[in-house]
Structure 1
């Protein structure tokens, strides 16, 4: 039996090696490849924790539930524990404590049964620079024991076309831009139909057009029945493409649920459209509004705790020419700031 690598940050003695080898044997008995059962949730973690050597707590007691058929956004600033969580879910590292189940099976114990049903792009693709994009995919596919060699070139061509790399398929990967490498890594994850697609910052390095294309592809995959687990630090990206989301900060889960519900629980910003922005801002502050922001012909603020009809009347009484007044729908950014007291990159 192949010797298993030591868990990251841990000293592994002979007894531990023997125990983990036994776990692999048990994994083969849990669910043979191709027999992973249908479940209502594709990812469930309970008290999942990862502490590295030196005491660094990367993930702290994570309870995560990802519904089947969702586009699930895993949201948080860089360093919040997103990638460490994904690596535990995929069996790349072992948790310090807690449990994780993927497609109804325990990970990493059932990795051999689960991973053939999962496509993943984690921390950027690992590519052979001296090979073309096409040959990289052929090599990836040849390493998959479940892949049919008779349809290999057809599937490789289809994956390249799906991510917009057909024209660059013969180009060596070392000459690819960062965005092209991301596309090629995504193509590798799409070589075969997957029940779950795990993407870690999939739009990293892409221009705005490339971002839109990848978002459209994610929606298409979801409509075909694939559950997509999408890690990102871009709030705008999550809000545009995801049905559900979880927010991480400093290794801990802040909240999770349907994207619309996360935003609905947060009060939106008050806005006043007026040419008299200075006077409007003064009146809003007098009425108890906070975080007043002035733009060219618009003033926004956190609404005061009073009847907004009275606020509007105060503006009119003060001679402010009100051309628009109301409360905007709260965004996912508003929800995140309300939950954590901080923000992060929201560029899309």
Structure 2
């Protein structure tokens, strides 16, 4: 059984030389993560990650996407030095991993596959333990750091409650607070909004944007494409262990063609006409029909609908989303278990 946390020392008297604020995170545009030919093959020949060349720009919010079994978690474990690659190289914060793990990890905050918590301790005491385990943490400022981290993730009111009584969303918040006890150059988050209600998800997104604005690079793995599109500046798409695409979120979305959207009280007839006009992937949703935009002039398609007696209330081409790009890149829908 772990020993109880040491009693936190009293705050220093006014006028002491104790630092009041953590040092700002160093800004740099150099890649904070860079891999070349990174490969992981497990016993039995299973190829989990295949020749991955990944570049995460400094200061970005980088979304890491892929369906279940695509190699995302294996990649993160290699980047954090938890497992060794079969071949290839990985550099994090300019240093080779896993060789430089002792120098790199103090500058990295991570929340991977859910936080590890002591259920019999309060949320506050869990953070005290995390902070006390950090050899670089000044014990004189421990209480201040813990309270600031709790406030930042919205857990101040529940700080005294035992962690075993926390909901899944509260545990996610506490894990994120632990990652934020010290200034970090890199924050690695695996499904950070898992278990949160819509308000909590908005708060975490806002916090991620705030951290990025302060100079922290955020590497975010998520199965929520909408979340990635809202908060990320860059993204990479994995499928079957290989990197399919990477770049700016807007750039990736622009690779897809978007969707033709027809609003009409005659959806069945509209779908028939659209198919006759050469459109593909026609989908009927109550009084809305969507399809891939055809190669021909859209004005002619609209005229054909009207001529056939379809009552057209709306006729637009919706801009491509990251989900559209993902489907085109991987040839499959997104597995929410990813």
The alignment's TM-score, normalised by the length of structure 1, stands at 0.87
Please point out which of 112, 131, 143 is paired with 1:141.
131
Please point out which of 254, 262, 265 is paired with 1:264.
254
**Equivalents in 1 of 2:91, 2:227: separation in Å?**
26
**Pairwise CA distance, 1:346:** 6.5
Please point out which of 88, 100, 114 is paired with 1:124.
114
What does 1:90-109 correspond to in 2, within 5 Å? 90-109=80-99
**Equivalents in 1 of 2:207, 2:304: separation in Å?**
49
**Pairwise CA distance, 1:43:** 0.5
2:212 aligned with 1:222, yes or no?
Answer: yes
CA deviation profile, 1:117-140 (whole Å, cap 9, x unmatched): 111111111111111111110010
**Equivalents in 1 of 2:60, 2:114: separation in Å?**
23
**Equivalents in 2 of 1:263, 1:66: separation in Å?**
18
2:263 aligned with 1:273, yes or no?
Answer: yes
Partner residue in 1 for 2:13: none
Partner residue in 2 for 1:27: none
Indicate conservation of the 8 Å contact 1:333/1:346, yes or no.
no
**Equivalents in 1 of 2:182, 2:205: separation in Å?**
19
CA deviation profile, 1:151-192 (whole Å, cap 9, x unmatched): 100110010111111111111111211111111110000001
**Pairwise CA distance, 1:295:** 2.2
Please point out which of 34, 54, 62 is paired with 2:44.
54
**Equivalents in 2 of 1:105, 1:215: separation in Å?**
29
**Equivalents in 2 of 1:160, 1:83: separation in Å?**
27
Indicate conservation of the 8 Å contact 2:109/2:186, yes or no.
yes
Please point out which of 118, 137, 154 is paired with 2:144.
154
SS of residue in 2 equivalent to 1:290: coil
The alignment's TM-score, normalised by the length of structure 2, stands at 0.89
CA deviation profile, 1:247-268 (whole Å, cap 9, x unmatched): 1112111111000000101101
Q: Which runs of 4+ in 1 moved over 3 A?
A: 36-39
What does 1:148-297 correspond to in 2, within 5 Å? 148-297=138-287
**Equivalents in 2 of 1:69, 1:275: separation in Å?**
48
**Equivalents in 1 of 2:189, 2:52: separation in Å?**
19
Residues 242 and 38 from structure 1, CA distance in 2 versus in 1: closer, same or farther, beyond 3 angstroms?
closer
**Equivalents in 2 of 1:95, 1:214: separation in Å?**
32
Please, which moves more after superposition, 37-46 or 289-298? 37-46
How many pairs align? Answer: 312
SS of residue in 2 equivalent to 1:291: coil
Indicate conservation of the 8 Å contact 2:42/2:48, yes or no.
yes
**Equivalents in 2 of 1:143, 1:218: separation in Å?**
25
What does 1:293-308 correspond to in 2, within 5 Å? 293-308=283-298
Residues 143 and 56 from structure 1, CA distance in 2 versus in 1: closer, same or farther, beyond 3 angstroms?
same
**Pairwise CA distance, 1:321:** 2.2
